Amino acid sequence: MLFRNKKSVPELDKRNIPAHIAVIMDGNGRWAQKRGLPRTAGHSAGSETFQRVAEYLSDLGVQYFTVYAFSTENWKRPPEEVGEIMRLLEKYLHKAIREMRERNIRLRFFGDLSPLSDGMKALIEEANAISETTSGMLVNVCLNYGGRAELTRAARLIAEDCKAGKLSPEDITEDMISRRLYSNGIPDPDLMIRPGGEVRLSNFLLWQNAYTEFYFTDVLWPDMDERQFDLAIAAFQQRKRRYGGI
């Protein structure tokens, strides 16, 4: 692996590796601009980083890795940039489909996939089918995803059940909401990492991040490496999680 220097990283406690890590892959555009390159070059570098990091986290024993690849708001970007992100996702899907069995990873997609091209939809179906046969780390790619849209969808599904007489409003539980989210069956993130210097959630996993530990860094996403992830996990291991208790 091509990761840079591993100096000065605290030794990780291998018994306390977060089961679920979520990442907002931010800073691709600025990474490219700093180098006098078009923003799309930043997304391309970001896609490489995503694949290297996924491999590293799988080796560490992380069980779930969720990334924010494209938000419901990202359609507002220039069409060339949207097109390039979709092209990179498609390229990744082709590669993943070839390698998922060997690497023993599973893939799942969170978001409204209906506006995607037929080609992308077919690739996603293929990746979903392979995921039935593999058992390793589950990579969740948030694509045309927004936390509010996800919760709105869950509210609609519950309202339909109420309308059909299958459910009474007073019987609605938190668990029923969780089960109607894209993350159904997946434990909530233990650690959410946001590189790129912004300190906000940007509509990412609003329900699931209720008790998640947050780690923010100024490092831009394409520059995130093994060492940066070790630093984030080491910080997580210092935290005392109380879940509202004392």
Catalytically active residues are: 26, 74
Stretch that binds ligand FPP, among 24-32, 163-171, 176-184, 201-209 (CB under 6 A): 24-32
Question: Residues 21, 23, 26, 193: which binds ligand FPP (CB under 6 A)?
Answer: 26
Least Cβ distance, residue 88 to ligand FPP (angstroms): 4
Name the one residue in this structure whose structure tokens are 């970007």.
77
Least Cβ distance, residue 121 to ligand FPP (angstroms): 16
The CA distances from residue 121 to 49, 109, 149, 221, in Å, are 24, 11, 20, 27
What is the size of the binding site for ligand FPP (CB under 6 A)?
Answer: 19
By CB under 6 A, tell whether 65 contacts ligand FPP.
Answer: no
By CB under 6 A, tell whether 141 contacts ligand FPP.
Answer: yes
Residue 179, Cβ density class (10 Å: 0-12 exposed, 13-18 middle, ≥19 buried): middle
Please say which residue, 161 or 223, places its beta carbon nearer to ligand FPP: 223
Span 99-128, contacts to ligand FPP by CB under 6 A: none
Q: 3 near 52, Cβ under 8 Å?
A: yes
Q: 100 near 130, Cβ under 8 Å?
A: yes
| CA 129/CA 186 separation, integer angstroms | 18
| CA 233/CA 59 separation, integer angstroms | 14
Contacts of 213 (CB under 8 A, 6+ apart): 190, 191, 192, 236, 239, 241
By CB under 6 A, tell whether 50 contacts ligand FPP.
Answer: yes
By CB under 6 A, tell whether 88 contacts ligand FPP.
Answer: yes
Contact residues toward ligand FPP (CB under 6 A) are: 25-30, 43, 46-47, 50, 67, 69, 74, 85, 88-89, 92, 141, 196
